[in-house]
Structure 1
Amino acid sequence: MPANASTGVTGRPTMNDVARLAGVSLKTVSRVVNEERHVSSSMAIRVRDAVDALNYRPDLHASTLRRTDRRSETIGLLLEDVGNPFSAALHRAVEDVARAHGVHVLIGSIDDCPRREGELARAFTMRRADGLIIVPSGPDQSYLATEVRADTPVVFVDRPGHGIPADTVLATNAQGAAEATRHLIAHGHERIACLGDHTRVTTARQRAEGCLDALRSAGLQPDLSLFVPGLGTTADAERAVLDLFRRPNPPTALFTCQNLVTVGAVRALRRLGLHRKVALVGFDDFPLADLLEPGVTVVAQDPITMGRTAAEALFRRIAGDSGPPAEVWIPTCLVQRGSGELPPALP
């Protein structure tokens, strides 16, 4: 990097550079930068002028090492996909709680990849994050055992973790799925298709199980050929729905277990001209669902409460709470908008 024309400093300026330009001791610069007392106003002005001239930025990592509590005033948040509306709402809720504690949030997308989960978790802990909130993707989070033993708290949200003790915040997935299925049955449907995420995802399994349980409890024999797992994207879901309606005896209703799957299903039904004939209930709300025609009936999660609850649990642990891990369940809510109330179409 070329030298600054007015100061002669090359590369990233250091506290020593500030001290030389201001003509003061390194200790004086440290006191001014850290807003300590016992520095005259004239001396402080000289230091701040030098800081501005050099565009100096303090080394936060070094500051952390000097603190007696060794806290970085940051936490890590590992989400499925920061672009997903559910993840975005979780993020905002966590950030609001963190801001109230004067803490910044490091955030990353796991993209449903266990290796990516581990890489992000290690990256955040190497940056000395004071704690982690994770939507886990992999089957085992014991890779964090060393960090947990070193008093870096971990909280799982949306999905349970495995291999380490940790607080966990979950939605009532099976109950919500069962409620959606009972709702479709109450409107006359017996051939109900269930379109889900990858089966390695705990929430996907729970929602499919909730649908199955509701069908059986109603005395109906589930047609397992109508249960389609492994739909990770909107395009996957759209193709799956188109395939279902190429069959000789298609479903009269759809239960979609994830918001991106719901969007794909809506697109397919509209392409087929069936959006007013085939009932649909989706798990998890999404933007503009109420503005479609018909509006999309959903089992709504509460990501704001989930994120806030997870963040509050993390900050209690950071503050020293050493009680046993807690599991908190956040209820879901059926929101009727029209698509889930359609009766079976006449042949």
Structure 2
Amino acid sequence: MSGDDEGTRLAEQHEGRTVARATMKDVAALSGVSLKTVSRVVNDEPGVSPEVRERVTRAARRLDYSHNVHASNLRRTSGRTGTVGALFQDISNSFSASLLRSLEDVARARQTAVLAASLDEEPEREIALVRGLVARRVDGLVLMPATSRQDYLAPELRAGLPTVFVDRVPRGVDADSVTVDNVDGARQAVRHLLGHGHRRVAALLDLSTIQTAQERLRGYREALQEAGVAADDALELLDLRTPEASQHAVHSLFVAGEGPTAIFAGRNDLAVGAVRALRALGLGGRVAVVGFDDFPLADLLDPPMTVIRQNVAQMGAEVGRLLFSRIAGDTSPPRRVVIEPTLVVRGSGEIRPS
């Protein structure tokens, strides 16, 4: 078989469904250059003409090739590295931190290390970190995506990279996911407030581009509609990223005129910002608050915080079960696990309108 025929065969093989990642040898065959030349290109070394560099790059792209920076150091007969990647939005947040710890417990039982990082809702950061983990040949990936679509992962998924999405379902690709029922959780929170006599319920929510924020807004609106309460755009405070932003937004609501009698905070740190604002305004204990996500010391606030609790331990265990099942060779269709949240009544959500 000629070099051109071999290159065509390789391209056709990798453009279809395959389980093996392309190697530098495959790229060399398709581009018609030596293995050493391919090595120089992927390691960005000098001594290669622009025309040849472009040909190698084009071949690598066609074969979905990604460089393995640790290939020379791997000695495991299984080809595994004993590492998995975990990319969450903010591992300093109690939700992400608890989720990471649950995943670590599962991984440790399998002698696997977890390489974790925060994405901070930055799509470019996500793509760069994923590529870095793939280059290091992690055995699997857990992703809480910041990107609106994850089509860029398609080559790695085709190549067999075990990947589990958490907190948000994948878009543009098909993969395992573990999420909470955000719509139902928000409905529970707002129904609870409405059940205590409230009709002016404000919603504090994250970026409107984020799946979870969209779903919690939907649940908030559905609960109001069920109760025959007209939605008020002025009470929907969106695109809040920090406790400080939440605090400022709540303060502005009351300064501008008649404030709400109750608040649904769509994330734990937004609930913290709301409590700070209410205390500064002298309204602590007079305006009801229900937060989405439990957090440390929530039960020690005055009044203690009523929350919608996600079962983070269960989520982490499900993520780990799916991930290591895939690593072990499970090729069954992708699964979507949805975990029901629960209302934890503590006091702040049971304050009636003044």
TM-score range, shorter chain: 0.7 to 0.9
Q: Which one of the candidate residues 235, 250, 254 is aligned to 1:245?
A: 254
CA–CA distance in structure 1, aligned partners of residues 285 and 228 of structure 2: 27
1:72-96 CA distance string (max 9 Å, x none): 1100000111100001101001101
Partner of 2:215: 206
Q: Which one of the candidate residues 62, 65, 68 is aligned to 2:72?
A: 62
- 1:61 deviates by 4.9
1:283 is matched by which residue type in structure 2?
F
Select the structure of larger CA radius of gyration. Answer: 1
- Secondary structure of 1:314's counterpart equals helix
1:308-330 CA distance string (max 9 Å, x none): 11111011111111111111011
1:23-63 CA distance string (max 9 Å, x none): xxxxxxxxxxxxxxxxxxxxxxxxxxxxxxxxxxxx97534
Partner of 2:117: 108
Do 2:178 and 2:318's aligned partners in 1 also have CA atoms closer than 8 Å? yes
Partner of 1:183: 192
- Secondary structure of 1:204's counterpart equals helix
Partner of 2:29: none
Partner of 1:318: 327
| Alignment pair present for 1:138 and 2:141 | no
Partner of 1:224: 233
- 1:229 deviates by 0.5
- 1:220 deviates by 1.1
| Alignment pair present for 1:166 and 2:166 | no
- Secondary structure of 2:259's counterpart equals coil
| Alignment pair present for 1:72 and 2:81 | yes
1:82 is matched by which residue type in structure 2?
I
Do 1:61 and 1:72's aligned partners in 2 also have CA atoms closer than 8 Å? no
- 1:68 deviates by 3.1
1:280 is matched by which residue type in structure 2?
V
CA–CA distance in structure 1, aligned partners of residues 277 and 168 of structure 2: 29
- Secondary structure of 1:180's counterpart equals helix
Partner of 2:299: 290
Structure 1 ranges of 4+ moved more than 6 A: none
**TM-score, normalised on structure 2?**
0.79
Do 2:70 and 2:137's aligned partners in 1 also have CA atoms closer than 8 Å? no
2:246 is matched by which residue type in structure 1?
A
Partner of 1:43: none
1:290-344 CA distance string (max 9 Å, x none): 0011001100111111111111101111111111111101111101111100000
1:265 is matched by which residue type in structure 2?
A
Do 2:70 and 2:136's aligned partners in 1 also have CA atoms closer than 8 Å? no
1:190-221 CA distance string (max 9 Å, x none): 00001100011100010011010001001111
- Secondary structure of 2:256's counterpart equals coil
| Alignment pair present for 1:260 and 2:269 | yes
Do 1:192 and 1:254's aligned partners in 2 also have CA atoms closer than 8 Å? yes
CA–CA distance in structure 1, aligned partners of residues 346 and 71 of structure 2: 51
Partner of 2:339: 330
Do 2:299 and 2:305's aligned partners in 1 also have CA atoms closer than 8 Å? yes
- 1:106 deviates by 0.5
Partner of 1:148: 157
- Secondary structure of 1:72's counterpart equals coil
Do 1:77 and 1:133's aligned partners in 2 also have CA atoms closer than 8 Å? yes
Aligned-residue identity in percent: 48
Structure 2: unaligned runs, 5 residues or longer: 1-68
CA–CA distance in structure 2, aligned partners of residues 245 and 289 of structure 1: 24
1:256 is matched by which residue type in structure 2?
A
| Alignment pair present for 1:87 and 2:87 | no
Partner of 1:157: 166
Do 1:153 and 1:318's aligned partners in 2 also have CA atoms closer than 8 Å? yes
1:271-304 CA distance string (max 9 Å, x none): 1111111000000011111001100110011111
Do 1:194 and 1:256's aligned partners in 2 also have CA atoms closer than 8 Å? yes
CA–CA distance in structure 2, aligned partners of residues 275 and 333 of structure 1: 25
Aligned length: 286
Give the aligned CA root-mean-square deviation in angstroms: 1.2
CA–CA distance in structure 2, aligned partners of residues 131 and 171 of structure 1: 22
CA–CA distance in structure 2, aligned partners of residues 119 and 60 of structure 1: 17
1:202 is matched by which residue type in structure 2?
Q
- 1:69 deviates by 2.3
1:94-124 CA distance string (max 9 Å, x none): 1011011111100000011011111111111
CA–CA distance in structure 2, aligned partners of residues 170 and 70 of structure 1: 31
CA–CA distance in structure 2, aligned partners of residues 285 and 229 of structure 1: 20
Partner of 1:122: 131
| Alignment pair present for 1:271 and 2:280 | yes
